[in-house]
Amino acid sequence: MNSSPTEADNPNDGRLIVAITSRALFDLAESHALFEEAGLDAFREHQTQREDEPLAPGIAFPLVRKLLRLNPPKPAPARVEVILLSRNSADTGLRIFNSIEHYGLDIARAAFTSGAPTAPYVRSFGAQLFLSANPDSVTGALDAGIAAATILPSKAPSLSSDQLRIAFDGDAVIFGDESERVSQEQGIDAFHRNEVERADQPLSGGPFRGFLAALHKLQEAFPAETSPIRTALVTARSAPAHKRVILTLRHWGVRLDEALFLGGRDKGPFLETFGADIFFDDSTHNVESARRHVATGHVPHGVRNR
């Protein structure tokens, strides 16, 4: 897969840009099921008849609301921009924009593709992160070198915070999957030997390295002691494999506020304690545990997903 897009590929003027599909932002389960069962005409009629009825918030709605709250009052330049991508037509998508207005979300840019794939527009908008309910769209974005995740049906965390709280898995998400390949192919003992022997060699960057760097840059706009953003690494690694992770992040000059080395424990309860607004992981086993506790995005990247 390609490396993360460079700044030249992302003309975003230093903003954090997140592209999100309408099915991740709003609860479109009923209308999507109608489309699958009865076809486009029934879907179009359903949406136009209800275009003044606000859609219910979807899994990623709280995340988007917190992201947009990071912006200073206008006319100061925005720190964060959220782009809406939808396979609706502009006509059937009017209900989506009406819902955005109803909830007071500052989302002005959008692409309505009338059934065509939305992922190609992610790079055009300069987004560093793409969230979708469509796994194929997510895979296409990852192949293009953009951090992307499939938003899964999930439970909202019981512990809420005014802070934006984002948690990441390490290998095959923030980092490359070279160490995970050793674990999968040669076993856990070989993995630990590999990490001890290469502790001073930084890990390669994974698909979310660029997004993490952009998030870190955004954090630097706020005092550390009162930052509205908090990040966490939540990894199955444990000692002695922790050292290489810490030294890699130091080498990159990136700060993570919390690091949980769980040694294979289920991640869900720890993510709930952290109060994650979203958690990103490549492992289907881990996301199944996580989504029972917090909003979760599956990153179909690396050796576990081949």
Please name each of the domains of the chain with its CATH number: 7-151 (3.40.50), 164-301 (3.40.50.1000)
pLDDT at 26: 93
Active site residue 162: no
pLDDT at 110: 95
**Model-level pTM?**
0.90
Half-sphere exposure of 267 (CA within 13 A, CB side): 33
The Cα–Cα gap between 112 and 115 comes to 8
The Cα–Cα gap between 238 and 242 comes to 6
In the β-sheet with 110-112, what is the strand arrangement from edge to edge?
110-112, 80-86, 16-21, 129-132, 147-152, 296-298, 278-281, 164-168, 229-235, 258-261
* Residue-level pLDDT, tens digit, the chain, 306 residues: 444 444 334 456 789 999 999 999 998 877 767 667 766 677 778 778 888 999 999 999 999 999 999 999 989 999 999 999 988 888 878 889 999 999 999 999 999 998 888 889 999 999 999 999 999 999 999 999 999 999 998 877 666 788 999 999 999 999 999 998 998 889 888 999 999 999 999 999 999 999 999 999 999 989 988 999 999 999 999 888 899 999 999 999 998 999 999 998 999 999 999 999 999 999 999 999 999 999 999 999 988 888
Q: Which of the following is catalytic: 13, 143, 169, 171?
A: 169
Contacts for 193-199 with beta carbons within 8 Å, 24 or more apart?
Answer: 195/237, 195/240, 195/241, 195/243, 195/244, 196/240, 196/241, 196/243, 198/244, 199/240, 199/243, 199/244, 199/247
pLDDT at 255: 86
The answer to whether 65 and 36 are in contact (CB under 8 A) is: no
pLDDT at 2: 43
- The CB density around residue 108, as the number of other CB atoms within 10 Å, is 12
The answer to whether 274 and 250 are in contact (CB under 8 A) is: no
Non-local (6+) Cβ contacts of 142 within 8 A are 1, 148, 207, 299, 300, 301
